[in-house]
Structure 1
Amino acid sequence: MAVGDLCGGGSSGGNRDLTAIESNGIQQEKAHKMMISNLKSFFFVIFVIFASSVYCIDDKCAACNAIAEELERGLMNEKPRNHLDMRHRLDSKGQREGKLIDYRVSELRVVELLDGLCEKMQDYTLEKVGTSTKVWMKVNNWDSLKTNKQEARAHSKDISTFCGRLLEETEDEFSVLIKKGSVKVGKVGKVLCQDLGRYCKQTSDYEKAGDDDEEYRNTEL
């Protein structure tokens, strides 16, 4: 009798231990699944925020042309540069080996033109002209803005983010065209916004605006 009680008690205790282990395992599995679900939700929210910041720009053609104009400023401010001397090695006779690379077709020029471009777009905002038309304007003094500054800053972040996405999508082809000499002052908008980005049609609304509106666009606040 005593032996039976002892055996029965041992079996019951073992079952309780197994049940506890199984229960703990199920809880851990549920917690793991919940953590994965929360991570998926988190990354989805981040994606939605990023996507909305890029695509909340209604007129992507106008935004792209504003970026092209800023890049043309960089082209116009370029100064003549010497060829890049890549002759760093010496041959058996002590003569320098390598070649000279024309700066205009170098990777360095591409980097210097595009580096910081999207940060510069944070100086732009969307300004209302007339009753319904809005244009992208370069702001020299944010304190002098008469419009809602918080809204203006939001627009500047939007176009800066859009610029990053634009370069990400077109940088490889655009870099090749820069080195080929196809990207020139007055042609950046066509190359970047029509041929590569395809945000503008061959004859865009931006181009139809006319000389008076173009002059207003180039005015800095």
Structure 2
Amino acid sequence: MMAPWIGLVLVAMAVFSKRAEGKRDEVLYCSACMAIADELHYSISQIDPKKTVSVGGFRLNPDGSLTEKTVPLARSETHLSELLDGVCNNMSDYALYEEPDTKEQSYRRFAPRSGDSSNFPDFKNFKFDGPEGSNSLKFACETIVEELEDDIISLFSREEEHVSQKLCSEVSDHCKSSVFKHGEL
């Protein structure tokens, strides 16, 4: 027979875990979600669109021939899953940015990507808080990927429009405020 206090402890743990989940930093989690979408878009754009991969089972048609389905490699579930495995390692290229006019904050990419010499950000608006900031962003990224991996793969494999907005505002609800809904989504 279970001691009555064990049930009370389990109820208390459930309540506190819901409260902790509800207190997620919106700037941090919204920025992490947006960064995931941005990094995946960039990685997909780097793949030759002519490359394809066979997916699904090989079905035997009534006439005895095999049906083979191919999809672009960049949008295949296998490739997207591989990209998701490493996407959070890129969070060290992001830092807290404060909009000079509105003082609104978000994490943004400050490090240019290889071969990209056109976009050098204005570093005076970034707040570099050492490894703690990028570690927090990386943890938020890993949490989102763990919770929403199937949704992320599904959205990117269908080549949906406005994936960032769908993922970060509609699916995950991490970007709730009007600032994020009307900002850079």
Aligned to 1:140: 111
Task: Indicate if the aligned counterparts of 1:64 and 1:163 stay in contact, CA closer than 8 A.
Answer: yes
User: Post-superposition, which runs of at least 4 consecutive aligned residues in structure 1 deviate over 6 A?
Assistant: 145-148
Q: Whose helix fraction is larger, Structure 1's or Structure 2's?
A: 1
Whether 1:65 and 2:29 are equivalent positions in the alignment is no
Aligned to 2:180: 206
Matching residue within 142, 159, 169 for 2:147: 169
> How far 1:100 sits from its partner (Å)?
4.4
Counterpart amino acid of 2:43? G
TM-score normalized by the length of structure 1? 0.52
> How far 1:123 sits from its partner (Å)?
1.3
Whether 1:157 and 2:157 are equivalent positions in the alignment is no
**1:179–1:133 distance in 2 versus 1, CA, 3 Å:** closer
Task: Indicate if the aligned counterparts of 2:169 and 2:181 stay in contact, CA closer than 8 A.
Answer: no
Q: How many residues get paired?
A: 146
Aligned sequence identity (%): 26
**1:148–1:61 distance in 2 versus 1, CA, 3 Å:** closer
Deviations 1:143-195 (A, max 9, x none): xx67775x24211111111011111111112222333332x5xx121121022
TM-score normalized by the length of structure 2? 0.60
Task: Indicate if the aligned counterparts of 1:61 and 1:200 stay in contact, CA closer than 8 A.
Answer: yes
Which has the larger Rg? 1
> How far 1:121 sits from its partner (Å)?
1.4
> How far 1:78 sits from its partner (Å)?
2.9
**1:56–1:180 distance in 2 versus 1, CA, 3 Å:** closer
Task: Indicate if the aligned counterparts of 1:71 and 1:117 stay in contact, CA closer than 8 A.
Answer: yes
> How far apart are the structure 2 equivalents of 1:148 and 1:198?
26
Aligned to 1:127: 97
> How far 1:136 sits from its partner (Å)?
1.6
> How far apart are the structure 2 equivalents of 1:66 and 1:106?
20
Whether 1:193 and 2:164 are equivalent positions in the alignment is no
Q: Whose strand fraction is larger, Structure 1's or Structure 2's?
A: 2
Structure 2 spans left out of the alignment, 5+ residues? 1-12, 59-64, 113-122
Task: Indicate if the aligned counterparts of 2:94 and 2:107 stay in contact, CA closer than 8 A.
Answer: yes
Structure 1 spans left out of the alignment, 5+ residues? 1-43, 90-95, 215-221
SS of 2:105 mapped into structure 1: strand
SS of 1:161 mapped into structure 2: helix
* RMSD after superposition: 3.7
